[in-house]
Each structure stands twice: as C-alpha cells, then as structure tokens.
Amino acid sequence: MTQKKLHLALFLFPGYHLGAWRLPDAIPEIDLDIDHLVHAAQLAEAAKLDAIFFEDQAAVRRSNDILAGDKYGAANPRSIHFDPTMVLPLLAAHTSRLGLAATATTTFNEPFNIARRFSTLDFISKGRAGWNLVTSFNEDEAQNYGLDAHVGHADRYGRAEEFVDVVNGLWESWDEDAITRDKQSGVYFDVDKMHFLQHQGTHFKVRGPLPMGRSPQGRPVIFQAGASEPGRALAARTADVVFTLQSTIEGGRAFRDDIRRRAQAFGRSPDSIKIMVGLTPIIAETDQKARELADQMLALIPDDIALSNLKPLAGGVDFCQFDLNELVPELPESNAGKSHRDAIMAISRDKNLSVLETARYFAEGSYLKAIGSPATVADQMQAWLDADACDGFLAVPTHFPTGVEALTGLLVPELQRRGIFRTEYEGTHLRDHLGLVKY
C-alpha cells in the first residue's frame, strides 16, 4: 500500500507563544521586519512545505480593556503585525514554489475587493495564492469599522455564505482561453468568453467581471476554520482546506469524518477537502532538551498575561472570577468565535488542567503541543496521520529564527526519512502541493 503523505504549512505568527519572544536568541522584530519574513519563507520553501500562512486581526487585541486601564494584562505581542495581504506579493518575488496564504475577513471587506486581491496574488505568484476565509470574532475589530458591537454570529455566517459564492463567481468571470491578445486580428479578448456575474442577493449586488483573466489556479485555494455548526457547514461546502483546533486523535478523526461527510452531502468528493490540525512544535536534539526549552519559555509568561489572554478567546469571560485551581467551568455562549471557547473547556477536561494551567497552555499557543526530539514529534504526527485523524498540520513555531529552523531543519528531514513528507515539490501551484483539483 502506498504510504500516505502529510501536508505541512508554516503558520508564521510572531508573538504566538507569549513567552518565547523573550528568549535571548529570539527576534521578535519579525512582526514588522520584511527581511526576516522573507528569510522565514525561504526556509519554508527549502523544506518543501506546502505553504506559509498568516492570520490577521484588524485591531489591537483587547483595545477596550486598555482604554479601561488594564495596560499590563492586555499588552499582548500577538497584537503587532502587518496586513498580511500586503506582505505576500513580496514573498512571492523571493520564492518560486511555496504556497502563500493569508486571512481576510468577510465581515469587513467586500467580495469584489477580495476576489480581485487574491486573483492578483495568484497571477503574481504564478499560481500559489490561498485565501483564509474568516468572519472575525472580536469587538475590537468591529469598532474599527464603525460598529459599536460585533455583527451577530448567525448574521456573520449568513454574509460569509453569500460572500464566498460571489468571490467564486467572480473568479469564474473568464474562460481560460478568453484573453487572446491577437495582434493579427486586433482582438484583445473574446467577449463571448467573458461573463457578467449579475449577482443580487441579501447582502451584495455585484455585476462583475473582474478586470483580469482567469488566474493560474482558476481559483485560489480557500482555507477556512470553524467549529460551530454554521462554520462546519460553510467549510464543507466551500473550503479546500480546513484548519482545526484538536487535542486528541479521537477528536481529530471525528472532526475529519464529520467534514468529509458534510462535503459529500454537498455533492463534493470527500477527498476534495483537506483537514489540517494546528500544531505547536517545540523541538530540540533530545526529548530532555525540548522539555527544558518548553519549561524555559513557559516561565517567561506572567500569570496575569496568561489569564488575560483567555478573555477574548472566550468572548470576554474574566477567568480571574473562577477558582484558579479548579477545572474550567462551563463557559457561557457568546458572540465570539466558537472554536476557542470549546477548545478551552475541552483542554481543561481532557488534560485535567486547572483554570491557571489552562491559561498557561493557551499562552503557549492554542494548538496541539508536540514537545521532543525530531523523532518524538514525528511519532506524534505520524500517529495522527495513520489514524486518519487529519491530512496534515498547520505548524506554528514558538519563535523566530530558531523555532522555525527546528521545524524546517530538524523535523522535516525526519518526516522525509520516514517517507511521510515530500522531498521535492510535485508541481508549481499550491493546488498541486495539496492534491486539489484545478478549476
């Protein structure tokens, strides 16, 4: 039987681990230094990763708490970053195969802008663009766009459903051979192969077409993450890749099976959608050294910072009101995202962690932790792959450069030695790397 290979993307998120940026060898200036970002992308491409991925929030985290006087607990290094869609074109110029993906919200953008932006990136990168569709989850962003409070969860997803249909329709504006630039006949493009969308729906009225031909991939890759019922439905209907917060193989398999079943109900092949589990790797030459590094970084996170970090993830819940030595109680529903709220409760329950221990866990990063030597971390990843609990991992190194170098220079060679990760790119497009169909 052919050995199944995993997909692996680098989630470059400076400040993701709330203590690692304080290490002597860490370069926290990567948050606003394009030279460091280019170097990270080149390391990822040399390791043959599927893609480099950037999240985005259009606000300083917990701005309202800072205004209310909480200037210490809210000063979160995860707040500082560029608009990632402006970074990707430069990374495209300094790489040739690596996929380039970034977040852009459907709540505070227009579909024509997003369709045009990512189609342009697909041209610039020669077929390596990916859009991470999110609906946004915090009040701070809403207040930067003229709202007093965030749009309701159901309304956000209703808008997102229509938004992505408009984007896909705009990406289909042109047949592949529509633009001829025929000097002999003087015909620049065939108007019969250009299509007006003429969309008129609940949220949008968009004529189209895009002012460019069909991009190299036909459609840039659509990424999505969502644990709620509407989030899963949207992902199963529209996404090519789904990111997920999972802490157990059993939970990962159940999530993957659910998304694949839903995709099939929408008339899609279950294999047309890839599930990537978030992973925070802490890697060193030996298990002992990796554990010591993890402990060193954890000790650099003040408890106040760890506890305050949970507040926006849980929709504004103040965790200091709870007994810090007890398990996390049932958290109230909120208008924030559902993934982190559910994950906070699941991590506390599954790992028997107190409120304070859970806060420390999430201060190291929200995702599954993998701590050890390259062989130990590869064992963990292979166990998930062999159990059909995922198709790959979205790896978030704790810091730059050594955390990224450990991923690309220590872990990837071990995965390649086992035959579960590529040694060369199979094609030139991001869809090729991920084994997706071209539109």
357-401 tens-digit pLDDT: 999 999 998 899 999 999 999 999 999 999 999 999 999 999 999
Token representation of residue 64: 């309202």
131 bridge partner residues: 102, 222
Query: Which are the contacts of 327, defined by CB distance < 8 A and separation ≥ 6?
Result: 348, 349, 352, 353, 354, 355
Around Cβ 69, how many Cβ atoms within 10 Å? 8
> Is the confidence at residue 72, as pLDDT, over 60?
no
Smallest CA-to-CA distance from 430 within 264, 241, 245, 171 is with 241
- Structure confidence at residue 315 (pLDDT): 78
> Is the confidence at residue 73, as pLDDT, over 60?
no
Per residue in 17-29, pLDDT (tens digit) is 999 999 999 999 9
Sequence ranges of the domains in the chain? 7-301+364-434
Residues 78-91 have a mean pLDDT of 93
Per residue in 198-252, pLDDT (tens digit) is 999 999 999 999 999 999 999 999 999 978 899 999 999 999 999 999 989 999 9
- Percent of the chain at pLDDT above 90? 77
pLDDT band for 68, please (50, 70, 90 cuts): low
Q: Which long-range contacts (CB under 8 A, 24 or more apart) does 20-29 make?
A: 20/297, 20/300, 20/398, 20/399, 20/403, 21/77, 21/399, 22/300, 23/296, 23/297, 23/300, 23/399, 23/402, 25/401, 25/402, 26/399, 26/400, 26/402, 26/403, 27/399, 27/400, 27/401, 28/77, 28/399
Answer yes or no: are the C-beta atoms of 95 and 66 closer than 8 Å.
Answer: no
- CB burial of 25-34 (b: ≥16 within 10 Å; e: otherwise) equals ebbbebbeee
Smallest CA-to-CA distance from 92 within 83, 80, 101 is with 101
Mean pLDDT, rounded, of the chain: 93
Instruction: Please state, in angstroms and rounded to a whole number, the distance separating the CA atoms of residues 210 and 212.
Output: 5
> Is the confidence at residue 312, as pLDDT, over 60?
yes
Beta-strand pair 179-182/187-189:
antiparallel
Per residue in 428-438, pLDDT (tens digit) is 999 999 999 88
Query: Which are the contacts of 249, defined by CB distance < 8 A and separation ≥ 6?
Result: 383, 384, 387, 389
Around Cβ 421, how many Cβ atoms within 10 Å? 24
Question: Hunting for tokens 């529903």 — which residue is that?
Answer: 333
- Structure confidence at residue 337 (pLDDT): 67
Answer yes or no: are the C-beta atoms of 403 and 294 closer than 8 Å.
Answer: no
CATH topology of domain 7-301+364-434: TIM Barrel (3.20.20)
pLDDT band for 275, please (50, 70, 90 cuts): very high
> Is the confidence at residue 71, as pLDDT, over 80?
no
Token representation of residue 3: 């050995």
- Structure confidence at residue 359 (pLDDT): 92
Residues 164-168 have a mean pLDDT of 98
Token representation of residue 381: 């990843």
Residues 184-204 have a mean pLDDT of 97
Specify the pTM.
Answer: 0.94
Per residue in 404-421, pLDDT (tens digit) is 999 999 999 999 999 999
Instruction: Please state, in angstroms and rounded to a whole number, the distance separating the CA atoms of residues 78 and 116.
Output: 28
- Structure confidence at residue 343 (pLDDT): 86
- Structure confidence at residue 70 (pLDDT): 66
Smallest CA-to-CA distance from 12 within 50, 35, 44 is with 44
pLDDT band for 136, please (50, 70, 90 cuts): confident
- Structure confidence at residue 252 (pLDDT): 96
